[in-house]
Each structure stands twice: as structure tokens, then as C-alpha cells.
Chain A
């Protein structure tokens, strides 16, 4: 084995271009294996998070908010808005048949000005009626939310003193939520009393002049509705759209479907690219190794003449392929790890899909897999090619190249 390894290392040193080319092909295999898996799992995680966070059967938003501060935009992209449902419309909801329960959320965007620490979407919910945010928040923190407290999304940085300022007032950060891969990672949650206080403060600023006409205690940015069993969700949503003006009711399943369809398209695209690159790389590896072994017939014949057994030659070839494959696949993995952040951001922005990085165990599994699989393909291909050559009689190999 020592001899085989020594011959392998000398071959690599004396043929750096050949070794580098092989390394690059294996690197492609490793890179696509990791990136393909990483992107698909991240998108699936994001979709699951999105589905879990939506939590209601119907979402009602003001007609004016369509395409801006709607709940799906907040959930997906963290796009914020300051649109409110008129009070008379809210009251009419009580007359719609089939609604089991509903809860209002009040959205407020912090300003870019010096009054606020950061520009984020602030979501005020009513802990008494809420059935969407509260279960999730309770799974992240032990105690409920008190007046003056805020709970922040995972992507929001906060100072060491544990408070964030909005519209001139400081609010205590009670907890930071786990990452969801949705726009909620950039949102701040608080109870209705606290957001009412924020809205009153904001109403005095130039940025939020529109709030002067709103009574925060009785207004809402959206209403989340749970439909009674036995009622058709789409029919209830249609009923709301028909009977209540200035609002738009959307079944949440249609929002999920559109995101899921986007996810499906992107994951098919990524899978096709990944499988395509894999197929091409494997074919190239097989062809290159076969050509390389053919070119080295004379070398093998000389080793046989000097007394090397077929097994020794196969060991030398395996050792060389192993060194090249492990180098290529580790470099491929390092490049993948470096590129995960910018590529994730680009996919998230370009395809408008929720995106959540896999946990450490999955990342570890992907990393090991993206090194081991190309390594095995490289070594097995080389060994099979070497077996094919050493299976021929040495006397014939010598004659072929004489």
C-alpha cells in the first residue's frame, strides 16, 4: 500500500494539469450535490414555515392594500404597509354566516427617521381572540406578552440593553423568535395595548399622518377568520366579498397554493439542473478516466514487468483517484458553503419564495454526502477502468505501445 500511495502521489505531482482537471470535475459533482440538496430543503422548510404561520382559513384585508401590505406580503417578503379596514366594514363581518372565530391584527410600519431604531413591520395582535400567532409565540417563549413588551423576529438585531425604540418610546424585547424563513423573521410582535400606544405616538409624526384619521383601538389591518366546520371556505370568502365593501377576503389555501406552485417550479428547475450536471459530470469522469487509463497502458505494463501484481496497480490507481476525488469534493463543499448565503438571498428575492436554511444535522448530512458521493464515483470509476486494463495480459499491453 505504501508503494501504491507513493506512486499515486508522484503521478499527481508530475501531472498537475491532469490532476487539476480531474479535481475540477469532481468539484462540480460535489458543488451541485450540496447546492441542489441545500436549495430544495431550504425551500421546502420555508414552505412548511409559511404554511404553519398562516394559521387561518380566510384572510380579510382592505381593498386598498391589495399587493402592498397584505398578509401574504408580510409573511413572504416582509413588505410592510399601513392600510386599515374601515370600522363599518369590520362590524359587518359579524353578520356573515359560517365564521367560527376571527381576530384582528393591526400593522404599523416603523419609520426610517431617528424616532425608530429600525424599519420593521410591527404586528399588533389581540392575545384574547388570537388563534394564529399566539400558539406559535407560546411555543417559543414561556410567558405571555405583557404591555410594553415586544417579541422580535429572528433577523432583527437589538442592542445589549434589550430595548428597541419606536416613535420615540423604548420597548422591552421580551423574546426573539426562532427563524421561520418567512417575512415574519423581520417583524415585531406586540399586544393590542402596546401597538395602540405606538400608533398614537406615530400619529404625531410626519411619516404616519394617515393614522390621524384612524382610531387604532377599533381599526385593523387584517382580519383572520376560522370557518365553522361544514362550511365551504371559498363560499364564506365570496360572501364577505359580496356583502362587505372596501375589503378583500382570500382563502389562505389559495395563497399557499400559489407559493407551493412557485416552490414546485423552482424545485423542479433545481432538480433538473442538478441531475443534468451530475449526469454530464459522471459521463465526463467515466470518459476521462477511461482515456487516462488507456493512455497509461504502457505505465501499467512497465509496472507489471518490474513485478507489480494487478492488485498493486489497482491500489495505485485507487489511491491516485482517492487523493484527487477527496481534494475536488472538499474544495467543492467549501465553495458551496461560501456561496450558500448569497445564493439563498438571490433565490429568495428572484423567485419570491419563503426560504429557511436546514438545521445543523441536515447541513452535516448534506456536507458528508456531497463529499462521499463524488469521492466514491471518482474512485469506483478509476478502479473499474484500471481493472479493465490490468485484466489484459501485460505482454499484450507492452506490444500495443511498443
Chain B
């Protein structure tokens, strides 16, 4: 699965004024390698999250294109792009992202159940939770979880569909050292199985797992 960003940029307006705008991301060319872990670091507000949101179809670029296997994902309809995101991307967003009305199992199986195949993946969900050390929380509602447990749950949810591209925004943010190792080992294993893993992080413990490291500064991406 080949993901390519061609000169993508994102402009924001300040206070709704037409003339007062800035570029959070400036005309970036980017092509993550399949089977590799790509890490993006940079100061807060440098445009990292905006950049990866554009890569996975969550934020329309102001300029440029995001191509997946030769197709411009922003030229697709919302329904097509949503299905593509469901099948091809595993996204671990920043912050706590559990749906409170669902149990841990239902949260993990969410990407599968919305297209009607939840039953097929229950064993896989159990195995992922076991690998992440939270298999005992299967029936627990997500609002009863700690920050670290929620983060591991969202990692499992991102991996449930065996995506070819994994995009993680601070995946170890709420985790202790041991759990960071658990999560990173899992993501590394996925890259070894052929997935392109893109991680945005400030966490130095993640660096040993990186195959390629980029730094984002004022919306400009530089390879280290």
C-alpha cells in the first residue's frame, strides 16, 4: 500500500479574517516506507498533528494531494473516503478517544462492526487486548478506564482491521515505561509485517524503534 503526499499544505485563518492567515503545514512532499517505522518529532504547534490528519483523510489540505495507491483520497466522496480509512488506515488519535456508551470490546471492534463484520474479529480483539495487557477489561465501559488503559484500547482499535498504514499521534503519551515497550513492540511487529507506521511523538523512548526520523518545524518537514 503506497501512500504519497504531494506538496500538501494547510492554511488557517485567524479570527475569521480573510487576510489574516498562516500556514500550519507548508507544501510537504512525503512518502512513508512500507515495512518501516517513521517518526515525526517537533515542538508543540509545529504542525505535526495537522500533517498526519491530512495524510489519513481527516483534514482536507489547502493545497497538494494525498495519493493512496495512485488515487487522490480527497477526490473521493465522503462515503468512499470513510470506507478507505476504515479498511486501509489504523489511526491512534491524540488524547482519550473511547466511546463512553461502549465497552472496551465494543470500542475495539468499532471499525469492524460499523461495516457489519464484528463477529469475525472477536478472537483477534481478545488477542490484541491480551498483548496490550488489558484483556481482563473486555466487558468494562470505557469511562471506567484509566488514561493508560484508554490509550491501549485505542491502539487495539487501530490495529483490529490489519491496516496497511498506521498513523499514531503520541501513542505512548499516557503510558509508563513497560507499557510503552508493549505498544511499541506491537507497532514495530506490524511494520515488520509490511505496514507503514507513522508516529508523531515527543517521547524519547520511541526513538529506538524508528527507522526514519523527521522533524517538523513551523510547518516544514525535515529528514534527520
Contact A395 B54 (CB under 8 A): yes
B110 cross-chain contacts in A, Cβ below 8 A: 302-303, 306
Known: A306-B157, A309-B82. A399 touches B49 (CB 8 A): yes
Q: Which of A1-30 contact B (CB under 8 A)?
A: 2-3, 6-7, 10-11, 13-15
Report how far A389 CA is from B49 CA in the complex, Å: 20
Interface members, chain A 351-402 (any B CB < 8 Å): 393-396, 398-399, 401-402
B116 pairs with A398, CB closer than 8 A? no
Q: Tell me whether B100 is interfacial, beta carbon within 8 Å.
A: yes
Q: Which residue of A lies closest to B50 (CB)?
A: A395
A301 at the binding interface (Cβ < 8 Å): yes
On chain A, the number of residues with a Cβ less than 8 Å from chain B's Cβ atoms is 31
Given A306-B111, A307-B85, check contact A393 B60 (CB 8 Å): yes
In angstroms, how far is the closest chain B Cβ from the Cβ of A20?
16
Q: In chain A between 38 and 79, which residues have their CB closer than 8 angstroms to a CB of chain B?
A: none
Complex Cα distance, B111 from A309, in Å, reads 12
Q: Are A3 and B113 in contact (CB under 8 A)?
A: yes
A398/B53 in contact, CB under 8 A: yes
Interface centre among A11, A307, A401 (most CB of B within 10 A): A307
CB pair A308 B82 closer than 8 Å? yes
Contact of A307 with B82 in the complex, beta carbons under 8 Å:
yes
Chain B contacts of A393 at CB under 8 A? 58-60
The answer, yes or no, to whether B97 is at the interface (CB within 8 Å) is yes
**Contact check: which of A6, A299, A303, A311 meets B78 at CB < 8 Å?**
A311
**Chain B positions 60-118 with a Cβ under 8 Å from a chain A Cβ:** 60, 78-79, 82-83, 85-87, 89, 91, 93-95, 97-102, 106, 110-111, 113-116
Whether B214 is near chain A, meaning CB under 8 Å from some CB there, is no
CB pair B50–A15 under 8 Å, yes or no, is no
In angstroms, Cα B53 to Cα A299, docked, is 17
Once the chains are docked, how many angstroms separate the CA of A301 from the CA of B82?
Answer: 12
- CB of B116 within 8 A of CB of A307, answer no
Given known pairs A304-B82, A306-B110, A393-B59, the reply for A402 and B87 (CB within 8 Å) is no
Most chain-B Cβ atoms within 10 A of its Cβ — which of A298, A306, A312? A306
* Chain A residues within an 8 Å CB radius of B86: 306-308
A311 pairs with B79, CB closer than 8 A: yes
| Cβ–Cβ contact B115 & A396, under 8 A | no
Cross-chain contact A395 with B59 (CB below 8 angstroms): yes
Check A305 for interface membership: any CB of B closer than 8 A. yes
Contact-residue size bin, chain B (C-beta under 8 Å from the other chain): 20 to 34
Q: Kindly identify which residue among A6, A10, A305 contacts B58, using a CB–CB cutoff of 8 Å.
A: A305
- Contact status of A309 and B78, CB under 8 A, knowing A11-B101, A14-B100, A14-B141: yes
Residues of B with C-beta under 8 A to A396: 59
Give CA–CA (A331, B50) in the complex, Å. Answer: 47
- Point out the residues of chain A lying under 8 angstroms from B114, CB to CB: 3, 303, 306-308, 312
What residues of chain B lie closer than 8 Å to A394, measured between beta carbons?
A: 53, 58-59
Kindly list chain A residues whose C-beta atoms are within 8 Å of the C-beta of B102.
10
Minimal beta-carbon separation of A359 from chain B (angstroms): 46
| Contact partners of B53 in chain A: CB under 8 A | 394-395, 398-399
Contact A301 B83 (CB under 8 A): no
B114 to chain A, nearest CB (A): 5
On whether A299 and B79 interact (CB within 8 A), knowing A312-B114, A398-B58, the answer reads no
Q: Is the CB–CB distance between A2 and B116 below 8 Å?
A: yes
Report whether A398 and B94 are in contact in the complex, using a CB–CB cutoff of 8 Å: yes
Q: Which residues does chain A contribute within 8 Å of B95, judged by CB atoms?
A: 398, 401-402
- B188-221 contacts to A (CB < 8 Å): none
CB–CB B79/A302 < 8 A? no
Q: Which residues of B contact A395 (CB under 8 A)?
A: 49-50, 53-54, 58-59
Verify A304–B58 contact, CB threshold 8 A: yes
Beta-carbon nearest neighbor of A312 in chain B: B114
In the complex, are the beta carbons of A309 and B101 less than 8 A apart? no
Q: Is A251 an interface residue (CB 8 A)?
A: no
Residues B116 and A302 in contact, CB atoms below 8 Å apart:
no
Contact B82–A302 (Cβ < 8 Å): no
C-alpha gap A398/B53 in the complex (Å): 9
Instruction: Flag whether A310 is at the interface (Cβ < 8 A).
Output: yes
Is the Cβ of B94 less than 8 Å from the Cβ of A307? Answer: no
Chain B residues within 8 Å of A302, by CB: 93, 97-99, 110
Q: Which residues of B contact A3 (CB under 8 A)?
A: 113-116
Cβ 8 A contact of B94, one of A7, A311, A312, A402: A402
B101: which of A14, A301, A312 is its contact (CB, 8 Å)? A14
Name the CB-closest residue of B to A4.
B114
Q: Are B82 and A398 in contact (CB under 8 A)?
A: no
Which B residues touch A309, using CB under 8 A? 78-79, 82-83
Q: B residues within 8 A CB of A14? A: 100-101, 141
Give the residue name and chain of the B residue nearest to A390 (CB). Answer: B78
Contacts of A310 in B (CB 8 A): 78, 82
| B85 proximity list for chain A (CB < 8 A) | 304-305, 307
- Which residues of the other chain, B, contact A305 by a CB distance below 8 angstroms? 58, 85, 91, 93, 97
Which 6 A/B pairs are nearest by Cβ-Cβ distance? A307-B86, A395-B59, A395-B53, A309-B82, A395-B58, A14-B101
> What are 8 contact pairs spanning A and B, CB under 8 A?
A13-B101, A299-B99, A307-B86, A309-B83, A393-B60, A394-B59, A398-B58, A399-B50
Known pairs A6-B113, A304-B58, A307-B82; list 4 more (Cβ under 8 Å).
A3-B114, A299-B99, A305-B85, A306-B157
> Which residues of B pack against A, CB within 8 Å?
49-50, 53-54, 58-60, 78-79, 82-83, 85-87, 89, 91, 93-95, 97-102, 106, 110-111, 113-116, 141, 157
Q: Mark A residues whose CB is within 8 Å of B.
A: 2-3, 6-7, 10-11, 13-15, 298-299, 301-312, 393-396, 398-399, 401-402
